[in-house]
Amino acid sequence: MTRSSYFLAFTFLFLGILSVHSQGCANAFQWPNNSVTPTANWATIAVDNWAGDFAVVNVVSGNLYEFSTCAANGSNVTYDSELTLTTNANALLIYNDDFCGLQSYISWTATFTGTVRIHLTAYPCLTNSINSSIRVKTGIAPPAPINNTCANATTLTPSSTCNLVSGSTSAATEDPYTDPSCDPGIINDVWYTFNSGANTSLNLTVNLGTASWIGVEFFTACGVLATGLSLGGIPANCDFNTSAPNPTLISGLIPNTTYRMRLFTNKSHTYFRTYSKYDIPNAAFYKCHLRYSGYIYGMFDDASASNSIR
């Protein structure tokens, strides 16, 4: 019997979000002394914030909040900056470094009404006395993607050609399953399902643009991890960085079996700077269905207006 294999392709256009040191960078000095209420337009929290300060920001549950040291958003910061968003108890919400060159950007949907802290540091978690503008604005949070849950996984159908379709992982949340074994933490995931057909192996290719990484984990049913798989020749069902190696050989698939694929990003862990340290839970994307050539293929590109493809 001739070996037949499939090609599953997607292109992800990430819309702005971040990565994290293991705990971000928490500062001890508040400036300005008063709390700040964001508006719908970009505004400066204080013209004289320094690296080593945090500002207190009023938030409303369900609203989207954006913080930036990017020149495109009006900031004057030129040093290698980091932004860390925490609760008032300094519990990490999200962190970013190097979103727009050496500058940083955070997009976060409030899960409570109250106040948060936005911390400004120079990489790595350093202070300075340079007047720096942290820019902030608020807006309406986008709805969760249709494949935000495993139960609503998007079906990918085998095809002899790569057929692009559009979609979004904007406002994705985490399904109530155990964190990915290869990358536990605060994650955002979206789901896809496909049938292996006659194949026992596939190649997963991820070509990155300005996004730095996305993880993948395989299931045979919602909440039931796939067993007997190898990724890149290593026994595993989870890979936190699907672009290394590229392509990644997925072997050990059971023919004619339906699999569920959890694509995720992580907001609470350190990643090597060679991966640009992005955590991007908000994303628009295009994907290709399965193709008869032995590959699952993906391209991941940042679509935010302030960034170019790397």
As a whole number, the mean pLDDT across the chain is 76
For residue 301, pLDDT beyond 60: no
Mean pLDDT of the region 107-132: 94
How much is the pLDDT for 187? 78
pLDDT for 234-288, tens place per residue?
Answer: 899 998 887 777 777 889 999 999 999 888 876 554 322 222 222 223 333 333 3
pLDDT for 175-224, tens place per residue?
Answer: 888 888 887 777 778 898 888 888 888 776 666 554 556 788 999 999 99
How much is the pLDDT for 145? 85
Mean pLDDT of the region 22-36: 88
For residue 80, pLDDT beyond 90: yes
How much is the pLDDT for 254? 94
Mean pLDDT of the region 109-137: 95
Give the Cα separation of 231 and 249 in Å (integer). Answer: 6
